[in-house]
Structure 1
Amino acid sequence: MKIAVLGAGAIGCYLGAVLSKHHEVTLIGRERLINAFNRAGHMALSDYQERDCQYSNLTVTDSTDALASADLILLTVKCLAVHEAAQQLQAFAAKTTPVISLQNGIGSDDMLRQLRNPVIRGIVGFNVAPMDNCRFHRGTEGDVYCEALIDSTIAMQLDSAFHDMGFRLHTTSGFEALQWAKLQLNLNNAINAVSNLPLKQELETRGYRTILSLAMSELIEVTKQEQLKLPKLTKLPARWIPVLLKAPDSWFKKLASSMLAIDPQARSSMWEDLNNQRTTEIDYINGAVVRAAHALGLQAPANLTLVELIKDIEEGRRTPGIPSEEVLEDIKKRR
C-alpha cells in the first residue's frame, strides 16, 4: 500500500516510520525534516518502554506529488494548517483516495468537508516529541482511534503495523464522544506549557492537577448537557479523573501509576510550540470548551483562564513557569 503523510511533524513522522516497515511511505514535511533525515540517513523511533528502532526505507520530501498516487493519506498537520492542507488535497489527491485526519482539538475538521475524498476522522492517544538526529520519542501510552468509516482491510493493515510498536488502531461509530474524551486529556497541554515543567513533574504537583481537575470538570459538564457518554481512554472513567486529580500527592502517586507512566522528560506539544515560538492550537483545545460552554449558557473559567494565559505567552506579555497558585487565583476571579 502506498501511504502519503501530509504534514509530517512529530506524530506524522512517528506513524509514517512505523508503517514504512510494511508499506511504501512518503512523508511530506518541511525542509528542516528533509535535511535532518538526509544527515542522519534514517529516522529513529524510541519510546517510554525503551524500544529503539531505525527506519530508512521511506521517502521524505516537501513535494505534494505523492498525493496523486497514494492509496491512503494520513493528514497530520496542526489544526491551524488544516485549511491549507485541504487546498493541497483538493488540488493534488485523487478524489477516491481516503484521508485519515488526525488532529488534536475540536473544530478544525469542519474545513475538510469541502473535499471530494472520503475523510475519516481520527485521534492519536499518545505524545510524541521530536529529538535531535531525526529521532522521535513516544513519551506516553495510548492508541490510535478513527471512525468506523475506514475500509476494514486498510484498518487491519494499519493495526498490524502499529502492533509492532506496542499500540493499536481502534475504530468507533461514536467518534464525537471519543473526540471529546480525547479533548479531556488534551486540556493538560496548556497547563504543561504554562508550568514549563516536564509532564511527569507537572502531574505530580497538586496545584497544577487542581487546575486540570477544574478544566476537565467544565468539559464534563458540557458533554453532560450535550448528552454525550464519554468512552474510557484511560483505566478510569472520564468523570472520575477530575476526582483523582484532586487527591494529595502521596495518594495520587499510588492510585495513578499508569497516568504517571511517562518519560521523565516528556512535554506537551503546546509546550513545544511555545518553546519554538509557534502559534499554538489553544483555540481548538481549551478554547473549544469555552465556546461550547458559552453556547449552552455555562461558564468555563478554568479553560478561559488557560486560553488567555497561553495567548499572553504567545504575544510576549507573560513567560512560561507561572506558579499554580497564581493560575488558580486567576480562575477564582472569573467565577
Structure 2
Amino acid sequence: MLVSSSVGSPRAHRSGRLKIGVYGAGAIGGYLGLRLGARAEVTLVGRPWLANRAAELCAVDLEGQRHENPVRVTTDAAELAQVDVCLVTVKGRDTAEAGSALARVLRPSALVVSFQNGLRNAERLRAALPAQVVAPGMVTFNVVVESERCFRQTTSGPLCAGRVLGSGLGTLERLEAVFGGVGLPLTLSSDIGNLQAGKLLLNLNNGICAATGLSIQASLLSRPARRAFSACILEGHEVLVRSGRRPARVMALPPTAIARLLTLPDAVFVRAARPLFTAHPSAKSSTLQDLERGRVTEIDELSGEIVRLADEAGLSAPANTEVCRAVTALTRRAARAPLTPEDYLTPEALLERIQRQRHRE
C-alpha cells in the first residue's frame, strides 16, 4: 500500500530550501524530519501508520516545546527522487534493503547520511549506492513515539556527521546550517569512525535496559544495572582498541571514565552524573521498545558487534555475550506472546550472569 500525505502550510515547500528525505522515519527519523521541517522541504518515508497520522504529527524537544512543522509523509521511496539529502534511519538489519531501494530513485548528486546505530551501516550504504556520496552520522539522544503521533526527545546528547570531501561537502554544510537553524546543532567531524566507536560503548546500555525491562532512567538509578553496563563498556573498549579503533569521547567524559563513574554508590553517582546527562522518565532504549512491540531488535549491531569484533581479534567478550543471550531469548519469547514484567531479568540476575561468565573465561 502506498500512502502520501502532507501536513502544514504549502508555503514551506518553496524553491531555494534544501530538500531533505528521511528513509525509515521511525522514532529518530520522524523526530529529525519534523524538526527540520521548520527550515527545509522534508519528505518522510515510513510505515503506513505514519502517513495515516500525517496531520497529527509533532515533535517535542527535551525542554517540552512542541514543534509542528510542514512535512510530506509517504510510504513510497520514489518520492525521494528530487531530494538533495537523504537521511537513512532504518535499523541496521534493513540497511541493505534500504540501499537497494534508494539506488533506484536517488539522483547521483544526492548526499546520503546514515543516522543509524552501529559501525558498519555507512559502508553497507556505499556498497549499494556507488553513485552517491555517503556520510556516516550518529544521533546520541533517545526518542520515543507516543500514541503514534508525538515524537518526544527523552535524553540529551550531540548530533554528528562525518565530514566528506568533494561534491558532497557543500550539501553537507547546507544540512549543517539547517540543523543549526532549528536548534539541533550538527557537528561535522573528520574522526567520525572513532566517535561512532565511542557512541557504540554508550549504546551498550540498550542491551542492559532490554534484558531487564528498565527505562533508561531506572537503569541508571540501579547500581547492579550500572555495574553490568560498566562491565560491558570496559570490555567493549578493550575489544575496540585491540581492533584498531580509538573510541572517542561523545559525552563530557570519555567512555572509560563513564564506566568508572557507573560503579559508584547511588547517592554519589546521582550527584556526579546530573550535570552530564538528562533523561526524561519515559525514555526507553530502542532495543527495549522493539521487544515491547514484538520486533526483532538491533542487539547484533550493539553488544553483538563487540562480540563479533572480539571473535575476529581472538578475544572473549563474556559480558556482552551474556547481554546478547538474554535479549535474544526475550526476542524469541516476545515473538510468541507479549512480554510481562516477570519475563525480564532483574538487574541483580543479569549482573550475576555476567560475573559468572567472566569467571569462567
C-alpha distance in structure 2 between counterparts of 1:322 and 1:258, whole Å: 30
> Counterpart in 2 of 1:131?
146
1:48 and 2:49 equivalent?
A: no
CA distance in 2, matches of 1:320, 1:91: 43
TM-score by length of 2: 0.87
| 1:186-238 Cα deviation digits (max 9, x unpaired) | 10011111221221111011000000000000111112223433222111122
What number of residue pairs does the alignment pair up?
331
Q: Tell me the equivalent position of 1:83.
A: 96
Distance 1:247 1:165, change over 3 A: farther
Give the SS at the match of 2:86: strand
Q: Secondary structure at the match of 1:200?
A: helix
Instruction: For 2:244 and 2:63, locate their aligned partners in 1 and report how far apart those are by CA, in whole Å.
Output: 37
Moved more, 274-283 or 256-265: 256-265
- Flag the 1:291–1:133 CA change in 2: closer, same or farther, 3 A: closer
Query: Which residue, 260, 278, 300 being the options, matches 1:243?
Result: 260
Alpha carbons 1:192, 1:202 under 8 Å: kept: yes
Match of 1:273 in 2: 290
What's the CA shift for 1:164? 4.7
1:284 CA displacement: 0.8
Cα shift readout 1:130-163 (whole Å, capped 9, x = no counterpart): 1125110001111211111064443443333333
TM score, norm. by length of structure 1: 0.94
Pairing partner for 1:68 from 69, 81, 84: 81
* Distance (whole Å) between structure 2 residues aligned to residue 102 and residue 79 of structure 1: 10
Q: 1:181 is matched with which residue: 198, 203, 206?
A: 198
Query: Take 1:54 and 1:320, find their aligned partners in 2: how far apart are those partners?
Result: 38
Matched residues in 2 for 1:46 and 1:320: separation?
32
Q: CA RMSD in A?
A: 1.8
**Partner AA of 1:172 in structure 2:** S
Kept in 1, the 8 Å contact 2:202–2:255? The answer is: no
Find the partner of 2:158 among 137, 143, 148: 143
Name structure 2 gaps, 5 residues minimum: 1-17
Deviation at 1:329, TM superposition (A): 1.9
Q: Secondary structure at the match of 2:235?
A: helix
Deviates more, 1:205-214 or 1:170-179: 170-179
Task: State whether structure 2 residue 196 is matched by structure 1 residue 196.
Answer: no
Percent identity between matched residues is: 33
2-structure distance, mates of 1:291, 1:96: 35
1:176 Cα deviation from its structure 2 partner: 1.7
Q: Secondary structure at the match of 2:304?
A: helix
Tell me, in whole angstroms, the C-alpha distance in 2 between the residues paired with 1:161 and 1:72: 12
Point out where structure 1 has 5 or more consecutive residues left out of the alignment: none
Q: 1:105 to 1:328 in 2, by over 3 A?
A: same
CA contact (8 A) 1:253 1:260 kept: no
Q: Is the 8 A contact 1:107 1:288 kept in 2?
A: no
Structure 1 residues 237, 135: CA separation in 2 closer, same or farther (over 3 Å shift)? same
Partner AA of 1:124 in structure 2: V
Relative distance call for 1:197 and 1:84 in structure 2 (3 A) is: same
Would the alpha carbon gap of residues 300 and 5 (structure 1) be closer, same or farther in structure 2, given more than 3 Å must change?
Answer: same
**Equivalent residue for 1:233?**
250
